[in-house]
Structure 1
Amino acid sequence: MRDLVGPGHRGIALVQSAHVHESVPGRRAGFRASRGRLGLGEDEAPVITLGADGPLDADAVVPDVPALLQWPVRRGSTALVVEVSTDAAEIRTAAVAAGLDVPGDLAWSA
């Protein structure tokens, strides 16, 4: 997160998949600890579950990638940290198709 905050990102979301069976609770805990150290709250740096199957310890749930791409518009997020590489690829493809400049309008780390 420090690498994203350094260049000026203040709205950074961690995107986790509702469909992943692998447990990465340490990553979520680390993300939350980092946002606290950097002075960001859950509104500025939420943990978002992608998929409607369950929150998986999330601050917010979005049903699909198009809904996720509305998040930056509504909340001012300019960066995503995506847990699953296949989700990252799908999000990037959809962002470019929606006319977003990647990484200009929306940056991310996978």
Structure 2
Amino acid sequence: MSIYVGNLSYAVTQEDLSAIFAEYGTVKRVQLPTDRETGRPRGFGFVEMETDAEETAAIEALDGAEWMGRDLKVNKARPREDRKPSGGGTGSRGYSSSRGGGYSDH
């Protein structure tokens, strides 16, 4: 399992992220996805720790913590969902262009 880390500063490096998580255990891997077109960081990353206990300790300590001028969002990463390629097609699959999902912030 890995940890999702959101609301990261765009200046954060893999070394920075590894160092802060190393305070809670052994960091196995750090990923900072970049935008395919620009190559710039996307403002989130993933960290894998050696044990579940270390992951839990890091999540509890760092979720909501202020780091590099940002309030971190830290939680267990969810498995990536398979996404169908979007071709902007003709709607032959029953998709509509409207994104009305019933959500309202009123």
* TM-score of the superposed pair, with normalisation by structure 1: 0.26
* TM-score of the superposed pair, with normalisation by structure 2: 0.26
Higher Cα Rg, which structure: 2
